[in-house]
Amino acid sequence: MVKKGLLYSESHEWVQVDGQQARIGISDHAQEELGAIVFIELPSVGSVFEKGDNFGAIESVKAASDLYLPVSGKVIQANMDLEDNPEAINEDSYKNWIVTVELTKPEELDDLLSPEDYEKTL
């Protein structure tokens, strides 16, 4: 399932924009490919990342995968609930976001994929 109203990266992260902030998670396709998620490494609030930087990691019973920030920004919120309950991403990868960032280069949003374009990459 590809959720409408979001933007997507080729590395399977989704972005929900709200003004100068962006909430970020992984797509339903990504969580399906990973399988049962057992661990997530979250960045610290206040951390600053450039587009494409590794901002954390996610591990499942099948594989470990790095998380890449699809837009440059400063982490203003990390979903700490996922530390104790990482499998929530398997339950609903769109509801269970990973971080919220304050955009530092909002023009980078133009490089992301629409839901329709993302669906074509699958």
Q: What is the pLDDT of residues 87-96, one digit of tens each?
A: 999 999 999 9
Instruction: Provide the whole-model pTM.
Output: 0.95
pLDDT at 11: 94
CATH class label, 7-105: mainly beta
CA distance 82 to 98: 8
Q: What is the DSSP letter of 2?
A: -
pLDDT tens-digit series, residues 67-88: 999 999 999 999 999 999 999 9
Mean pLDDT for the chain?
Answer: 97
pLDDT at 96: 98
User: Residues 12-38, buried b or exposed e (16+ Cβ, 10 A)?
Assistant: bbbbbbeeeebbbbbbbbbbeebeebe
pLDDT tens-digit series, residues 29-44: 999 999 999 999 999 9
Structural contact between residues 102 and 73, judged by C-beta atoms closer than 8 angstroms: yes
Cβ within 8 Å of residue 82, ≥6 positions away: 40, 42, 88, 89, 96, 98
Domain ranges (residues) in the chain: 7-105
